[in-house]
């Protein structure tokens, strides 16, 4: 039997149901008890000013956040790379996208003055950032340092 400190509670990315996850099973990308899908998504999730605490601050695995805008051509070149990373690292890294035009509070909070801007978080802590459109190998190198 495991004690309560060896488990966390986290909401499913698909249905929102809160699931109890044993810490030793965290990186196995467990299945939701409600919808039976993987709790951590294999594609980028949309983050907003309002859902940031649940999606980023409370996330038990590292999160790569893409600060972007639809009119930004370099952002559109980075998007497919992030889709690939989300699929390849599902359950180990969560990839999120934040539209800076629609969410100015977070863009200001993190002093995003140029896009694309990629930031890596462990819970509420910013642990790394990548400025500009960079190759996938560069993003992977940054992720390898934190996971």
- Active site (catalytic) residues: 72, 75
Cis peptide before 97 (omega within 30 of 0): no
Rounded CA separation 126/110 (Å): 9
What Å distances lie between residue 94 and 69, 97, 101, CA to CA? 20, 10, 22
Contact 75, 46 (CB under 8 A): no
């Amino acid at each position: 039997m495991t004690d309560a400190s060896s488990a966390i509670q986290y909401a499913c990315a698909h249905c929102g149901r809160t699931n109890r996850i044993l810490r030793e099973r965290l990186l196995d990308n467990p299945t939701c008890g409600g919808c039976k899908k993987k709790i951590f998504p294999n594609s980028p999730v949309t983050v907003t000013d309002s859902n940031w605490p649940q999606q980023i601050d409370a996330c038990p695995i590292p999160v790569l956040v893409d600060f972007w805008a639809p009119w930004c051509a370099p952002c559109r070149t980075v998007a497919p790379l992030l889709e690939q990373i989300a699929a390849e690292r599902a359950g180990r890294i969560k990839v999120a996208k934040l539209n800076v035009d629609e969410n100015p509070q977070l863009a200001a909070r993190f002093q995003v003055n140029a896009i694309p801007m990629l930031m890596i978080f462990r819970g509420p802590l910013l642990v790394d950032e990548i400025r500009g459109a960079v190759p996938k190998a560069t993003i992977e190198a940054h992720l390898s340092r934190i996971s």
